Amino acid sequence: MGRVTTPQRGNPDGSSPVQQTGISVQQTGVPMSQFAPPGYHQANVNISVGTPWRSGLFDCQEDQTNAVMTAILPCVTFGQIAEVLDEGEMTCPLGSFIYLLMMPALCSQWVMGSKYREKMRRRFNLVEAPYSDCATHVLCSCCSLCQEYRELKARNLDPSLGWNGILAQGQYGSEAPGNAPPNQYMTK
C-alpha cells in the first residue's frame, strides 16, 4: 500500500500547497476537509455550553437518604422535583402518580424524567453532560433523579420541603443563603 501525496504544483515561492482556508497542507497526505461537503464542519459542531452540575451523576452517596428513597420509590423523588420546577403547579402527589402510572404500564417514565431534566438544565443553564437527557433517564433513571434532587438542594430549593415550604422559607429566587430577595408570594 502506498502513501497518498498531493502533487507539488509550481508555487512561485517554493512553499507547500495551501488549502482555501489558509492552512498549509502537508505533502504527505490529502487534507480531510477535501472530502467533506462545503459547510460540513461548521454546521455539525454542537458545543455543549453551560455551567457544570454541582455534583456528578453517580455521586448518590452525597445524599444517602435521598438515594435510598429514590431506589425504593423513584416516583416520589420525581414528584418532589416536578413540584419545585413547576413552581407548585404540579403537586408532588400528582407528579408521583403520573410517574408511577408510566412505570409499569408503558415503561416510559423516562419521557417525563428527561423532559424535567431538560427544564432544569434550561432554567439553571446547566450543561447536558455526561449524556443526553434522554439517555441519562433511560440508562440510569435513579442516578439522574438523585442528581437533579441534589442540584435543587444545592441551590437552596430543597425538594423535600415542597413548593410551599420553599416559599415559606423565602428561598425562591436565591442561590446562596442570605441572598433571598423579599418574597412577593408571602403575606405579611
- Residue 170, pLDDT score: 80
Residue 22 lies in a domain: no
The enclosing H or E element of 96 equals: helix 92-106
Q: Which domain holds residue 86?
A: 64-172
Residue 150 lies in a domain: yes
Residue 154 lies in a domain: yes
> How many domains does one find in the chain?
1
Residue 33 lies in a domain: no
pTM of the model: 0.65
Residue corresponding to grid cell 442540584 = 151
pLDDT higher than 80, residue 154: yes
More confident of the two residues 37 and 160? 160
Q: What is the sign of the dihedral through the CA atoms of 88, 84, 160 and 134?
A: positive
Residue 133 lies in a domain: yes
- Residue 28, pLDDT score: 47
pLDDT higher than 70, residue 116: yes
pLDDT higher than 50, residue 22: no
Residue 149 lies in a domain: yes
